[in-house]
Structure 1
């Protein structure tokens, strides 16, 4: 077992999309219909989804993540010249029934057995998160699922991260925050969490001047990191 790098951690807080749930799986399940446009669609859809979320917060015109996800998909369809209402409906439904990564359930079970609190903190709407956790069968393994809708501001705004502190009634430094998204790890670190990046695809470190204290390529590495 690796030497633990964290002391006094009382809870693990997980980002959802890209960390627990594989957003690329949605498009992958429609690859037969999308053909050579599948990868482009996945890239544009995700990029616009994040762009619209951040922009809505900056403009002070909040819109929930389900609406934003649909608007981003509409942009991607138009950019790629796709006109197919049935395919759009299928992709949106698949986003509700999104696949989790294979390492998620075993790690959540391990953390539960070790007595570590387990929480999701996501930009996703309540409806999206309820559906995703139900589809993955992990709802019973979580102590709470927090949507930023309660703050009305998207991560990486500090108000979004503060929801976890308030719900758990723990100081930020006792929370291990995990995300696959570099911008999210920077936001969590700036807020004061002990941050681990789940770098599933080997992306380079972000150049934002603040970031994670550790990096893993799979959630299966987390228990050893925490000394559990």
Structure 2
């Protein structure tokens, strides 16, 4: 296979895009009955910081490592879900990073792997995140994360970005020991909010996540920040946009 050199910027974009095996085309949807919104963590936290940390630590092979790591991370999480197993995000992320480094013949110590996995708990906000969350809270909507990230990671990132006053306690897949797109993961929303799924909007970063949430029965906004292609399987999400405007429209704001 022919390989092409990448600029640092292109490498980061490709590494980040590995986090988003995409979905669907935009479609308007009525949303007057939405009373709560469940967010994938990466719709609010800027996951590009993970790829940037990898490239900073390993300048020569960082882009390739970041891409391979994200692909293997999702592959392992889906494998565990399909097999009815659950190791938790940190363990899967560490295993995926070790495998990816070995596949690239790159020496990465246990301490280096730990530091890179920890970046997931230190992600900054996307620029539009706080204004949108504040607008939603003023409108009376209930908000919470519903994420494959571990509970400690979500809590740390929420504290660091001062989101505790805007969002309810996070719904980590640690609660049900099943990564998304397991229906058990999406079912945390109705259980935690005490609302039927029809009254809950789901805000997805990855196309696969938007598809899984839509299959579960949520009205879903896909925040396609990286402009990746749509998933080939139906149905489409209710709304698609490159920013959180789709979530506002889903909520009728």
Distance 1:30 1:210, change over 3 A: same
CA 1:225/1:55 → structure 2, altered by over 3 Å: closer, same or farther? closer
User: Is 1:133 paired with 2:158?
Assistant: yes
Is the contact between residue 77 and residue 83 of structure 1 (CA under 8 Å) also seen in structure 2? yes
Please give the alpha-carbon distance, in whole angstroms, between the structure 2 residues aligned to 1:89 and 1:194: 36
Runs of 5+ unmatched residues, structure 1: none
Aligned to 1:62: 86
Q: 1:60 to 1:223 in 2, by over 3 A?
A: closer
- In the alignment, structure 1 residue 95 sits paired with structure 2 residue 109: no
Q: Deviations over 1:160-191 (max 9, x none)?
A: 11111111111111111010111111111011
Poorly superposed stretches of 4+, deviation over 4 Å: none
Deviation string 1:142-164 (CA, Å, 9 cap, x unpaired) is: 02310112111111111111111
1:14-49 deviations in Å (ceiling 9; x for gaps)? 011x32222221231343331132222221111111
Distance of aligned partners of 1:4 and 1:161 in 2 relative to their CA distance in 1, 3 Å threshold: closer
When structure 1 is superposed on structure 2, of 26-35 and 142-151 the one drifting more is: 26-35
Q: Any idea what SS the aligned residue of 1:35 has?
A: coil
1:120 aligns with 2:145: yes
Contact kept? 1:9, 1:175, Cα under 8 Å = yes
Listed as ranges, the gaps of 5+ residues in structure 2 are 1-27
Check if 1:44 corresponds to 2:68: yes
Per the normalisation by structure 2, the TM-score is 0.83
Distance 2:199 2:43 in 1: 20
- Looking at structure 2, the residues matched to 67 and 80 of structure 1 have their Cα atoms a distance apart, in angstroms, of 20
How far apart are the structure 1 equivalents of 2:79 and 2:185? 15
In the TM superposition, what are the counterparts of 1:19-34 in structure 2 within 5 Å? 19-34=43-58
Matching of residue 80 in structure 1 with residue 104 in structure 2: yes
CA RMSD of aligned residues (A): 1.8
- The separation in 2 between residues aligned to 1:215 and 1:200, in whole angstroms, is 10
Contact 2:220 2:250 in 1 (8 A): no
TM-score of the pair, normalised by structure 1:
0.91
- Give yes or no for contact 2:55–2:66 (8 Å, CA) kept in 1: no
